[in-house]
């Protein structure tokens, strides 16, 4: 009979027994480590399925798997405990960028589990971000339509990767270069901008290529603030569930109090409120006197682009510079 063992491997025979195709009876698996079981059975003529079943029955193996995540499709072969497999990142076209899969057992008696470390940067969608950037650069798309497409591209947070953060930063930079000093975004572009940044902020952009993650995130934050400068109207909040932005003016509606009050929440999006109970307030002053400043304000629900000890491995001595 073909049965499923506790380790999830399919093979012929009950646990700790195996049988070749057409064998009249099951044979007990040899005892020992994964390596000795494999070597003993292979030297005796056993097929891969047979020795792999015996090793897996001991919890000393990770079965072959095909799976898909934001970095692409990966195929990992059968591995015994403490073995590793290195696979090139399918969307990066760079041999130095790899995913490392290791079969690990944390405690004696436990089944081994597959652990993955990704140095990958790009998602399967990164090429679409890049193509949008080319169209912006070559004046093949209006700014309003570009932000509409960017909103769509970022809409599936589970598929976004840090490479998409890099390309979005580039797109924002290209749009800024195309606009004159006096030019402003349209109302729909301002709203779509807030949604796109909020979408990316909900993305798990983590990669073991920490320096790249920090570099791309810093570029995005900088270019996001530059885009806030171009929002349709001053003193108006443009918001999404993950991101809110406002450009205040020192001579605008907040000039006397120097305070902007918001209602709502990071989960639903913030909005300016003149009265009622606010959930957040921002106050500025000059020489101790309340006074609104010309300011670009960007507020994120999650610290996705701000890497501290919980979100990135900072080199020793870099804490103060990163905070800055």
Crossing angle of the two packed helices 143-153 and 187-201, in degrees rounded to 10: 30
User: Which of 47, 3, 55 is closest to 21 using CA atoms?
Assistant: 47
What is the 3-class SS of 128-184, one letter each residue?
Answer: HHHHHHHHHHCCCCCHHHHHHHHHHHCCCHHHCCHHHHHHHHHHHHHHHHHCCCCCC
pLDDT of residue 170: 98
Please give the pLDDT value at position 313. 46
Q: Note the pTM of the prediction, 2 decimals.
A: 0.80
Identify the CA nearest to 229 among candidates 252, 245, 218: 245
**H or E element, residue 198:** helix 187-201
Q: Which of 279, 264, 192, 273 is CA-nearest to residue 227?
A: 192
- In this prediction, residue 127 carries a pLDDT of 96
| CA–CA distance, 40 with 57 (Å, rounded to integer) | 16
Please say whether the dihedral angle defined by the alpha carbons of residues 116, 121, 125 and 127, taken in this order, is positive or negative. Answer: negative
Specify the DSSP class assigned to residue 296. E
Whole-number Cα distances in Å, 35 to 5, 16, 58, 100? 20, 16, 12, 21
Cβ-proximal residues to 20 (8 Å cutoff; 6+ apart), any chain: 12, 46, 47, 50
143-153 helix and 162-178 helix, angle to the nearest 10 degrees? 170
pLDDT by residue for the chain (324 residues), tens digit each? 233 333 334 445 788 888 877 778 888 999 988 888 888 898 888 888 888 899 888 888 888 888 888 999 999 999 888 889 999 999 999 999 999 999 998 887 788 888 999 999 999 999 999 999 999 999 999 999 999 999 999 998 888 999 999 999 999 999 999 999 999 999 999 999 999 999 999 888 788 888 899 999 999 999 999 999 999 999 999 999 889 999 999 888 888 788 888 887 766 777 776 666 777 888 887 787 778 888 899 999 888 998 765 544 444 444 444 433
What's the confidence (pLDDT) of residue 308? 61
> What does the alpha-carbon distance between residue 140 and residue 215 come to, in Å, rounded to a whole number?
28
pLDDT score for 17: 87
Please tell me the predicted confidence (pLDDT) of residue 46: 84
Q: Do the Cβ atoms of 232 and 185 come closer than 8 Å?
A: yes
Provide the 3-class DSSP secondary structure of residue 189: helix
Helices (H) and strands (E) in the chain, counts: 8, 19
């Amino acid at each position: 009979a073909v049965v499923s063992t506790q380790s999830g491997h399919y093979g012929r025979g009950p646990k700790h027994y195996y049988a070749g195709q057409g064998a009249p009876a099951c044979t007990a698996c040899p005892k020992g480590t994964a390596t000795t079981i494999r070597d003993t059975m292979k030297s005796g003529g056993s097929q891969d399925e047979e020795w792999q079943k015996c090793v897996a029955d001991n919890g000393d193996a990770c079965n072959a798997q095909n799976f898909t995540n934001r970095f692409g499709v990966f195929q990992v072969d059968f591995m015994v405990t403490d073995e590793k497999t290195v696979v090139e990142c399918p969307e990066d076209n760079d041999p130095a960028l790899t995913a490392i899969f290791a079969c690990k057992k944390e405690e004696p008696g436990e089944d081994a589990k597959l652990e993955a470390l990704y140095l990958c940067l790009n998602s399967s969608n990164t090429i679409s971000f890049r193509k949008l950037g080319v169209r912006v650069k070559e004046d093949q798309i209006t700014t309003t339509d570009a932000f509409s497409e960017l909103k769509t591209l970022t809409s599936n947070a589970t598929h976004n990767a840090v490479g998409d953060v890099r390309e979005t930063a580039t797109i924002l930079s290209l749009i800024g270069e195309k606009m004159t000093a006096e030019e402003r975004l349209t109302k729909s572009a301002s709203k779509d901008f807030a949604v796109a940044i909020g979408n990316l902020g909900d993305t798990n952009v983590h990669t073991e290529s920490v320096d790249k993650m920090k570099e791309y995130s810093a570029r995005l934050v900088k270019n996001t603030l530059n885009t806030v400068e171009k929002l349709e109207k001053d003193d108006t909040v443009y918001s999404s569930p993950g991101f809110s932005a406002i450009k205040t003016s020192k001579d605008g509606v907040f000039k006397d109090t120097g305070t902007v009050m918001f209602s709502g929440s990071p989960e639903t999006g913030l909005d300016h409120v003149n009265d009622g109970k606010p959930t957040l307030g921002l106050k500025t002053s000059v020489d101790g006197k309340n006074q609104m400043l010309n300011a670009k304000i960007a507020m994120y629900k999650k610290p996705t682009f701000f890497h501290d000890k919980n979100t990135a491995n900072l080199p020793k001595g870099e804490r103060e510079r990163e905070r800055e």
